[in-house]
Amino acid sequence: MDSIFYSDKEYEQVLLHLGELTERIHEMEDSPEREMMVGLMQYFDVIHREAVSRLWGVLETRHPELCQRIIGEDYTVRNLLALYDLIEFNGVGKPPEAVAFIPVDQVKILK
């Protein structure tokens, strides 16, 4: 399976859309379908929260400096950790502007 990577800007849009969808589900009238969606969201939360919490706990114990650097530098990881209450959530902020990316096969030495 190919890896899929989203830019911080794309991840920001996913987070915002997820927030909107979650609000819409919670505003729905009580119904079996709403209860099923809420239950599904809760089970996904438990599965991910437990695993991410364990992974982050090991990293914090063994590599605390790395964890602090990740929190300071990685927009996507910082937001994921905040979603699971592993770090303080300060709202979905704007991601940093991406620096220009030049594929390595296009890099040339100027003479």
- The first and second tokens of residue 89, run together, are 């959530």
Distance in angstroms (rounded) separating the CA atoms of residues 93 and 109: 38
For the CA atoms of 56, 57, 58, 63, the dihedral, rounded to the nearest 10 degrees, stands at: 80
- The first and second tokens of residue 7, run together, are 């830019």
Distance in angstroms (rounded) separating the CA atoms of residues 5 and 8: 10
Averaged pLDDT, 13-24: 91
pLDDT at 30: 94
Q: Is the dihedral of CA 3, 57, 79, 27 positive or negative?
A: positive
Distance in angstroms (rounded) separating the CA atoms of residues 78 and 105: 31
- The first and second tokens of residue 74, run together, are 């990685």
pLDDT in tens, 39-95: 999 999 999 999 999 999 999 999 999 999 999 999 899 999 999 999 988 776 677
